[in-house]
Structure 1
Amino acid sequence: MVDLQTLSLLLSINETQMVQDLVSTVMSSPQVSQFMHEHPLFFKNVQEHVQQWSQSIPAQLKNIPVPDDLQQEYILYLDAQGLSAEQFTQQSADLLVQLQHSDFHTDAQNLLLTLSQANAHNRKQLFIQKWREHLVSQVLSLEIIFAEQERERMLQQLELRMQVAGELDETLAPQHPGKLWDLTATHLLQGNSSLFRHYASFLTHNPELKKIADALGRAATQDSSAEEQINRVETAEWQTVQHEQVPDDLVGIHQSNELNRLISSETVLLTEPELETVFYKQLAERRLLNYQFMGQSRSLETVMSEQRTFGETQDTKGPFIVCIDTSGSMSGYPEDCAKGFCFALLQIALSENRACVIMLFSTDVVTYELTGPEGLQEALNFLGCSFKGGTDLEPCMQQVMHYMQQARFSNADAVVLSDFIAQRLSVETEQQAQQIKRNGNRFNAVSLSRHGKPALMKIFDNVWKFDTSLSGRVLRKVR
């Protein structure tokens, strides 16, 4: 069976002009023109998308079969073309009979009648020429039908993608559309895109989270071999002090003079008049046996801290791999902070054309590819889920390191969001992480609690603290 592209080539029909006209028609359509006016940063994305589509048109023509009657007529045309002038004159009557179902039949009759007095050679040449023009017209008609269908299909596709891009432009790509256009292939979002607006607003009210995300985004270009700059800055921090006056835990027995913590056996001295003076002597000398308590007290103090900065290099920025604690202690405001931070990373990933993968560690590791083909839907699924998991960081770190060993995740920035109230990582995992660091990857952490275990965070290259407690929130408002 002959396809439309083959027949076009046999008849020497130039498809290039048709494709160019098709591209011009799509790009100048009212829908596209209005979108370009409102969102000029997407012009290059739309143009490249339409160009890629136009390059696929010739291949699509191969899949369009030519109607049987047109195929038979073309074969008859080739046979007639191969006849000599005398043979053509002799067989012209039979030729008309075979063309009786063709649209060219009437024109063929009139043409042979008009050329009856012409010499045989000219009669054949003119007839074949007019017949070819008819066949070309038939093929062009089929191509026009195909082109019209393709134009409508492309405009419908563009309208859906432009609608998604227009809705999410300000929330997901406020600076540069980057990779956002690629994600708009997910036309029907099975969720509420208002989640994107919610977390965009959340970041506006919590700018410190956005600053941490921006700092993480620059981590790939921080060169530790560059000149180090140390700045001393004054910050307000909560200080934890071990204090005996806070009766949290009983830690032992010691000598003191506190009657309210007196061991009951010491009161025996008061039962005998001659021993009573011994009791008061030991009381004055602070040598009575007392229960010893120990607890923590917290106070807000101004401290001087050092901030180290390094020069930036031009290294390629790698993907983000975010590992999130979904334990019960992370529900509520910490959960919103974790999702808001991931939303900020998604904005950076889209603007800088970087991959972004979210992992939730619980009994199982749940993964969301936010910049994959279904990235927008994956992002909605993640932002809409609830944190009701566990605190086992070990399997999630193993999954993160498995990703980092893949070529597409070279120079990656892994970041763990947790309150870090969990068990320590195994020695094997820490050693494996150190090995992966030597390959150019980085491990970072964002601690969402002031009670995080320092021993658990020593594995990370950078640790940012964001206190999600009520006092931490109030302190940020005061600042």
Structure 2
Amino acid sequence: MLGIDALDIAVLLADTEMVEAALHDLMGRSQLMPMVEQNKKIKSLVRSQLNRWKKKASVKVKQAVQSEDLQSELSLYQEVIHWNERQFLSNIDDLMAKLEPISTFYLEANRLVNGNNARLNPMLPHFFCHQWYKCIIENVKQVQEETLEKEKQQQLDELYQRLEMLKQMDNLDTHQDTASIAGRLWDMTSVNLSKTDWSVMKSQADFLKKHPKLQEIAETLGRMAKQDPDPNEPLQYTQGIEFEEALSQQATDDIVGIHESNDLNKLLPNELLFLAYPELEVVFYKHLIDKRLMNYQMQGKVQSSRKVKAMEPHPAKAEEDTGPFIICVDASGSMRGFPEQCVKAMAFALMQIALAEDRECFVVLFSTDFVTYQLTKQDGLREASDFLSYTFHGGTDLEPAINAAIKKMQISEYQQADLVVLSDFIAPKQSKELIKQVDELKLKKNRFHAISLSKYGNPELMNIFDHHWAYMPNMTQRFIKQK
């Protein structure tokens, strides 16, 4: 064999030391970032992200050296090293022709072969293959390093982007602690938002601070699924311990009299006279055995416990009872101005609650037609920015929006949902078919809520809702809250 077997190169291609070193470098750089250093949850998210990157980077590095030219060169090398010296010298010109278009080793090979009397040197085949092998190894390493460096820089840029977006969310000064929703937000930071996008969300966060009643309503909606008892939930017996006090003669709280007994601790002093005379000692022991010694009678209260059974509702499984939020937002022209600000801020607050409670948040924006937004998917922040930037116009057609929400509720991922309609409810009443569908969904633990922003709403529209809030601060109150 003229050279080293190419299987050694295959081992090199699978070597993970280079990727491991890159991973440690990224870990070290990320730990210097202030947000990672201060927050254990974010540090854990970064570590998980980098471990996923390691697997992808390993695949990329292996794919990088699988170019057509390199694979052709490896095949040619593995063929040549199995020649003998005679075959090598007789096929050298043909070998050089094959090397020229596919290998960076060609120039070096041409110098070795065409040197002074090089072809007469019996060591030429072995030295040629050895140098060729070294060149292949260097090329493989260079391609791997370049690919890995590129992947590492991309990952570092992505980390900076994600952390910057988490910082921006923290700067919004929202009611939810960013650390508590960092896990959900991390998956939503793969998109890059502009300053305009952040200013739109910042304005909603500021509006919520000035109108805490809106935040209070949103939090009530978030808790409602956990607090409302289910009338259909079966009762079961639960066993507990009950404590009670009772009178006992063993307690030494008070002396209540004298009685005959055999308790030496409560013995009257005169009973000890029997022990003073040997001939009366037997009388003392006889009284002791017969429990006829005169004792102080004591009485007091002692606390005792006993097991009791009671009928209680079967414990609700909060995680199963809290489903997604489906928010229907009235975007008609009559909602322009202050009502528009209110409904956008409320939807923004519900999105934060959905993130904190690991719930989905789906928005149906309606007027004469409707559009939908998924605020908790991977590009949810982009969706939220687009929704908050939407300009309200057109008329009010509530039924198509509720029909769209009902279709969503029929999907398995959107069962036990909370439908929240934010509107002035200046619209015709619903059809009987719609009311029937709503009643059927209520039986499947779906909840329907209405938040009205006008005193001129149609009261007949409220019949389908389980809960109804009205938020209509007058102009004076608005002015005071905005100061």
Pairing of 1:148-297 with structure 2 (within 5 A) = 148-171=149-172, 174-175=177-178, 176=180, 177-189=182-194, 191-225=196-230
Partner of residue 466 from structure 2, selected from 461, 471, 475 = 461
Change (3 A) 1:169 1:40: farther
Deviations 1:346-384 (A, max 9, x none): 111222332212222211012222223432222222222
Per-residue Cα deviation, 1:77-115 (whole angstroms, up to 9, x for no partner): 2123334xxx247636855974771657889999xx9xx
Q: In the alignment, which residue of structure 1 is the partner of 2:381?
A: 376
* Higher alpha-carbon deviation: 378-387 or 195-204: 378-387
Matched, 1:27 2:27: yes
Cα gap change, 1:441 to 1:102, in 2 (>3 Å): farther
Q: Tell me how far 1:422 sits from its aligned partner.
A: 2.6
Kindly state the Cα deviation for residue 313 of structure 1 after the two structures are TM-superposed. 3.3
Cα distance in 1, alignment partners of residues 201 and 41 from structure 2:
20
Summarize the Cα distance change of 1:392–1:72 in structure 2 as closer, same or farther, 3 Å threshold.
closer
Q: Is the 1:467–1:473 contact (alpha carbons within 8 Å) kept by the matching residues of 2? A: no
Equivalent in the alignment of 1:15: 15
Q: Equivalent residue for 1:265?
A: none
The answer to whether the 8 Å contact 1:392/1:422 transfers is: yes
Shift of 1:129: 7.1
Residue 131 to residue 56, structure 1, CA distance change in 2 (3 Å): same
Structure 2 residue aligned with 1:139: 140
What's the secondary structure of 1:178's corresponding residue? helix
Conservation of the 8 A alpha-carbon contact between 2:362 and 2:372: yes
Query: Which consecutive residues of structure 2, in runs of 5 or more, have no partner in the other structure?
Result: 1-5, 100-104, 234-313
Question: Gaps (5+ residues) in structure 1?
Answer: 1-5, 229-309
Match of 1:436 among 441, 452, 457: 441
Residue 447 (structure 1) aligned to one of 449, 452, 458: 452
Give the aligned partner of residue 407 of structure 2. 402
Structure 2 counterpart of 1:468, which letter? P
- Work out the CA distance in 1 between the residues paired with 2:203 and 2:164: 19
Matched, 1:344 2:341: no
Q: Determine helix, strand or coil for the equivalent of 1:415.
A: strand
Q: Distance in 1 between matches of 2:468 and 2:436?
A: 19
Measured after TM superposition, the shift of residue 472 of structure 1 is 6.5
1:449/1:468 contact within 8 Å kept: no
Q: How many angstroms does 1:324 deviate by?
A: 1.5
8 Å CA contact 1:400, 1:414 repeated in 2? yes
Give the match for residue 274 of structure 2. none
State the alpha-carbon separation in 1 of the partners of residues 362 and 420 from structure 2: 11
Q: Secondary structure at the match of 2:359?
A: coil
Contact 1:361 1:389 in 2 (8 A): no
* Aligned counterpart, 1:44: 44
Cα contact 1:356–1:369 (8 A) shared by 2: yes
Distance verdict in 2 for CA 1:398–1:73, change over 3 Å: closer
User: Contact 1:358/1:368 (CA < 8 Å) preserved in 2?
Assistant: yes
Distance 2:30 2:52 in 1: 21
Matched-pair contact (CA < 8 Å) for 1:190–1:377: no
| CA–CA distance in structure 2, aligned partners of residues 183 and 33 of structure 1 | 20
Distance 1:430 1:190, change over 3 A: farther
> Are 2:423 and 1:418 aligned?
yes
Q: Does the 8 Å CA contact 1:358/1:369 hold for their aligned counterparts?
A: yes
Quick one: structure 1 residues 164 and 108, their matched pair in 2 at CA, closer, same or farther if it must change by over 3 Å? Answer: farther
Contact 2:60/2:147, CA 8 A, preserved across alignment:
no
Choose the corresponding residue for 2:359, options 344, 354, 358: 354
Instruction: State the 1:226 CA deviation.
Output: 7.4
Percent identical among aligned pairs is 34
Give the RMSD, CA atoms, in angstroms: 3.9
Q: Deviations over 1:145-201 (max 9, x none)?
A: 111111122222322332222212343653422321222222143834112222212
Structure whose alpha-carbon radius of gyration is higher: 2
Q: Deviation of residue 38 (structure 1)?
A: 5.4
CA 1:91–1:371: 2 relative to 1, 3 Å: same
The answer as to 2:312 corresponding to 1:315 is: no
Helix, strand or coil at the partner of 1:322: strand
SS at match of 2:340: helix
C-alpha contact (below 8 Å) 2:31/2:37 kept by paired residues: no
Range 49-58 or range 142-151, more displaced: 49-58
Q: Which residue of 1 aligns with 2:257?
A: none
Residues 421 and 451 of structure 1 are in contact (CA less than 8 Å); yes or no, is this contact kept in structure 2? yes
| Distance across 2 between alignment mates of 1:75 and 1:139 | 15
Per the alignment, in what secondary structure is the counterpart of residue 179 of structure 1? helix
Q: Which residue of 1 aligns with 2:82?
A: 82
Of residues 365-374 and 463-472 in structure 1, the stretch that sits farther from structure 2 once superposed is 463-472
Matched residue count: 382
The answer to whether the 8 A contact 1:227-1:311 is kept is no
Q: Do the aligned partners of 1:178 and 1:353 also contact (CA within 8 Å) in 2?
A: no
Structure 1 pair 205–75 and aligned structure 2 pair: CA distance change class (3 A): same
Change in CA separation of 1:193 and 1:209 when aligned onto 2, cut-off 3 Å: same
Rounded Cα–Cα distance in structure 2 between residues aligned with 1:226 and 1:108: 93
Flag the 1:145–1:389 CA change in 2: closer, same or farther, 3 A.
same
Shift of 1:428: 0.6
Distance 1:467 1:312 in 2: 35
CA distance in 1, matches of 2:130, 2:158: 41
> 1:338/1:73 Cα in 2 relative to 1: closer, same or farther (>3 Å)?
closer
| Separation of aligned partners in 1, 2:79 and 2:451 | 79
Gap change, CA 1:92 and 1:202, over 3 Å in 2: same
1:445 alignment partner, SS class? strand
User: Does structure 2 conserve the Cα–Cα contact (< 8 Å) formed by 1:420 and 1:452?
Assistant: yes
Instruction: Please name the residue that 1:91 is paired with.
Output: 88
| TM superposition shift of 1:450 | 4.3
* Secondary structure of 1:443 counterpart: strand
Q: Distance in 1 between matches of 2:226 and 2:199?
A: 33
The 10-residue stretch of structure 1 (449-458 or 47-56) with the greater mean CA deviation from structure 2: 449-458
**Matches for 1:54-73 after TM superposition, within 5 Å:** 54-61=54-61, 63-64=63-64, 66=66, 70-73=70-73
TM-score, structure 2 normalization: 0.67
Aligned partners of 1:72 and 1:315: how far apart in 2? 57
